[in-house]
């Protein structure tokens, strides 16, 4: 082996040792300090980035990253997974789409999706634009569609309607109509529940995949969550 090959081998061994020491220090230290409530995946990847051009792959890290902008919790990021809830939500989405209505995640369902990259079992929240809804649709829902039954309604269709439906005893879906208004300053706002919750202009729209099902969501979830739950939405408990 000539001197050139010897130097190359020495450099490779030295680089491998440096990478091992650097990466081992990261993986043996807590990824998230106890004082930090959540960490974005982008920040995590920046934290793990080695100063030299090298590809590092660790399955324990990758399995925690469900999507590019999910948030890692102090425990596992994806918890309380309910395939039944996701399937029920997708079923209701299809029923509404068949009536020309395009639902989107809102309320605690949006909050849980953004914080945990999943949706919880129990009561789920969807919203639809009031301009897409009609009394005929309400009548059809009340008569029962594919096993869905209306178990409660509040408000009126003109400015505050909220419908609760059930397909099985363990899952409730609450659909809120979202209404549009213009303030004295000519700003477009949207609101639900007789202006119990007021949002800035709910536009544009994005989509997300939750356990293989596509749902519409706001493109600015942090803004919407702050408007609904307050600036401390990150610590909001369900």
Q: What is the pLDDT of residues 203-231, one digit of tens each?
A: 888 988 888 889 999 999 999 999 999 99
Q: What is the pTM of this model?
A: 0.67
Q: How far apart are CA 187 and CA 227, in angstroms?
A: 16
Helix (H, G, I), strand (E, B) or coil at 143: helix
On the question of pLDDT at 59 being above 90, the answer is no
pLDDT band at 119 (very low <50, low <70, confident <90, very high): confident
Q: What is the DSSP letter of 233?
A: G
Q: What is the DSSP letter of 40?
A: E
Answer whether 216's CB lies under 8 Å from 103's CB: yes
Written as six digits, the tokens of 191 are 């609101």
Q: What is the mean pLDDT of residues 14-18?
A: 67
pLDDT band at 18 (very low <50, low <70, confident <90, very high): low
Q: How far apart are CA 218 and CA 204, in angstroms?
A: 7
8: left (phi over 0), alpha (psi -120 to 50) or beta: alpha
Query: Higher confidence at residue 10 or residue 84?
Result: 84
101: which residues sit within 8 A by CB, 6+ positions away? 128, 129, 132, 133, 137
Domains of the chain: 3-72 (no CATH), 83-235 (3.30.460)
Q: For residue 69, what pLDDT is reported? A: 46
């Amino acid at each position: 082996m000539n001197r050139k090959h010897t130097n190359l081998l020495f450099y490779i061994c030295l680089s491998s040792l440096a990478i091992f020491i650097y990466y081992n220090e990261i993986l043996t230290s807590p990824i998230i300090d106890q004082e930090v409530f959540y960490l974005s995946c982008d920040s995590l990847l920046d934290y793990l980035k080695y100063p030299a051009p090298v590809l590092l792959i660790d399955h324990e890290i990758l399995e925690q990253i469900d999507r590019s902008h999910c948030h890692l919790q102090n425990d596992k990021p994806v918890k309380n997974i309910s395939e039944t809830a996701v399937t029920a939500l997708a079923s209701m989405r299809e029923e509404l789409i068949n009536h020309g209505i395009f639902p989107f995640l809102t309320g605690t369902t949006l909050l849980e999706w953004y914080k945990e990259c999943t949706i919880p079992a129990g009561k789920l929240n969807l919203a639809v634009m009031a301009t897409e809804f009609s009394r005929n649709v309400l009548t059809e829902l009340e008569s029962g569609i594919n096993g869905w039954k209306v178990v409660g309604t509040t408000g009126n269709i003109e400015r505050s309607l909220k419908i609760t439906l059930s397909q099985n005893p363990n899952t409730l879906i609450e659909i809120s109509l979202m209404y549009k208004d213009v303030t004295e300053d000519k700003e477009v706002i949207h609101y639900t529940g007789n202006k119990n919750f007021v949002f800035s202009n709910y536009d544009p729209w994005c989509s997300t995949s939750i356990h293989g099902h596509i749902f519409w969501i706001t493109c600015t979830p942090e803004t919407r969550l702050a408007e609904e739950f307050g600036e401390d939405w990150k610590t909001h408990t369900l």
